Structure 1
Amino acid sequence: MVTGTPAARPAAPGLRRTDHAALRLLAALLPAGFRDRQHAEWTGDLLALADSAPQDRRRYLIGAARTLPSLRRLVRHGGAGGTPVALPGGVRDTAARVLLLGLLWPILSWLLWIPARYYGFDIPGRLERGNHEFLIDPKTVWPLDGTPGWLDVIWLVPHLGAIAATFGPFLLTIVALVGGTATALRHGRRPAHLGALALIGLFAAFLGAVLFVMSIAWDLPTSDPILVALGVAAVALGATTRTLRRRARAGLIALGLAIIPLLVSFHTAAGHDMYVWFAD
């Protein structure tokens, strides 16, 4: 059924007149049977950005205008009933999402798998009471001890994540590959953006490999600068990326701040003892 024209559509409550006029113009450039649905999607997104800075809404409208050719092709080839084409996010938004989704697994794995188990089960105290005459195998500490053997495959996930977090080149590669892939799958980017994310992932993997070789061949401390850069970027993007939801921004800032104890653990005697225990 052919729907009404944009001119007959009333402005949504809470939507600025200039934004409404821009959406009417953009919708008018779409096929009649498709424009109402797309107009509603754009309107919902702009309402979500109602409290954002004017430049954020302008960037969104510019991005919407850039998608007009792909939307028209989608309708022309009979794809209007499928998944809507997602609007391109800005560089800052994309970087923030990649960092959020990429840091989540390794940082949480490190926190839960190494310091939480080490201090939660009083490994330092038990070693002290035994005068360090015996070792406490990490495999004898929950959850590896006391759970069925077939769960070892599940425990491998936080174990590998914790290892990645403790070595900067690996962490950089994980953030780019996992974060980029998760961002692409979660937000359905256009092919151009999928390609850009793929290039970022490949570049980060290459850079991680180069830094790994440098750290081994020349014994360079590559982990510290990588962790500092990722932590600062996470906190900065979490504080300034207005297009993210508040929970996502808070989570990104928390992940960035969680890198601080990770860094500190590399340079303290207590951290050294913790990693010796974990390596055993």
Structure 2
Amino acid sequence: MTASAAGAHRLPGAARFVVGLLCTALPAHFRARQRAEWTADLMQITGPARWRYLFGAAWTLPALRLLARRARTDGSGIVAPAGPLVALTARTLLVGLGWAVLCWVVMLPGRYLVLDIPARMASGAQFDPKWVWPMSDMPALLPAQIALYWGGMAASMDFPFVFGLTLIALVVIALERGLPWRERLWVAAPRMAVVAFAGIVMTVADAFLAMVVGLGVGLGLAALVALWLGSAGHGLSTGRRVGLRVLGLAALAVLIVNQTVGHAVVVWFMD
């Protein structure tokens, strides 16, 4: 039996129960270490002081849990949080790639297969992508229609993706937390100006490349950056790193399908 386990058994049952309950809120790889620390501290105090200690532990539990999520699995230290640029890039790519891939699935192969567009073409029925679902005359659906159609174009024509990603980055910067709104304004304004300028330049360059070569590079580069951050993005949470890897691979798959078996679908969508 370890020293921490022996100490835990010498604690009163109620205190031992509270320690165990608090530990359940922590990541699994951090529980044993924290249980040992709390138990050792509680063994040195008695009476009401124990309950004051446990109350303090419960009060600081959310902050401890946040730090514990960044702890290495061997408990050897805390991983430093990602820098502002890495965090901004990760959030922007998660939203941007997720939007483009989802809209591509819905607007291109989804509609093409579910609505059986080849059969519609053969029978003379309406098959124009601008007039079949989700397009309608209902004004309430207009925002969703714009988002879906623009996302489909972003995944098939590429340069709309760069512009959309720029807008997403601007929103992410504007909604960044951690500072009072006045200070946030002074910090965010220069960042937004730089991002907007860079986004416009890259959108124009990608559109020119798409017209000359027939294929932009924005979505492909974003997918590669997402894969790199998902593998080497120190300080990012596990969920974000997994999401970046999944979306990066999905975006690359979209590009491959567009140029191979899905080329006819892209031609129909861009008609």
Give the alignment's TM-score, normalised by structure 2: 0.62
Give the superposition deviation at 1:237: 1.4
Cα–Cα, structure 1 residues 200 and 56, in superposed 2: closer, same or farther, change >3 Å? farther
Corresponding residue for residue 114 of structure 2: 120
Check the 8 A contact 2:170/2:196 in 1, yes or no.
Answer: yes
Distance in 2 of aligned mates of 1:126 and 1:164: 25
3-state DSSP of counterpart to 2:249? helix
Distance in 1 of aligned mates of 2:266 and 2:231: 32
Q: Which has the larger radius of gyration?
A: 2
Equivalent in 219, 239, 242 of residue 227 of structure 1: 219
3-state DSSP of counterpart to 2:66? helix
Give the superposition deviation at 1:157: 1.6
- Work out whether 1:171 is the aligned partner of 2:171: no
Cα–Cα, structure 1 residues 58 and 139, in superposed 2: closer, same or farther, change >3 Å? closer
Corresponding residue for residue 50 of structure 1: 71
Distance in 2 of aligned mates of 1:221 and 1:157: 24
Corresponding residue for residue 210 of structure 1: 205
Check the 8 A contact 1:231/1:257 in 2, yes or no.
Answer: yes
Corresponding residue for residue 92 of structure 1: 86
Give the superposition deviation at 1:178: 0.7
3-state DSSP of counterpart to 1:141? coil
Corresponding residue for residue 248 of structure 2: 256
Distance in 2 of aligned mates of 1:176 and 1:214: 18
Please list every run of 5 or more consecutive structure 2 residues that lacks an aligned counterpart in the other structure: 1-21, 24-29, 38-59
Which has the higher mean CA deviation after the structures are superposed, 112-121 or 194-203? Answer: 194-203
Q: Aligned partner of 1:98: which letter?
A: T
Superposed CA offset, 1:65-105 (max 9, x none): xxxxxxxxxxxxxxxxxxxxxxx735433322221122222
Distance in 2 of aligned mates of 1:94 and 1:107: 20
Distance in 2 of aligned mates of 1:180 and 1:275: 29
3-state DSSP of counterpart to 1:114? helix
Distance in 1 of aligned mates of 2:142 and 2:88: 34
Give the superposition deviation at 1:171: 1.4
Give the alignment's TM-score, normalised by structure 1: 0.60
Superposed CA offset, 1:133-157 (max 9, x none): 6661224533336x84642343122
Corresponding residue for residue 262 of structure 2: 271
Cα–Cα, structure 1 residues 251 and 260, in superposed 2: closer, same or farther, change >3 Å? same
| Count of aligned positions | 216
Q: Aligned partner of 1:220: which letter?
A: V
- What is the aligned-residue identity percentage? 25
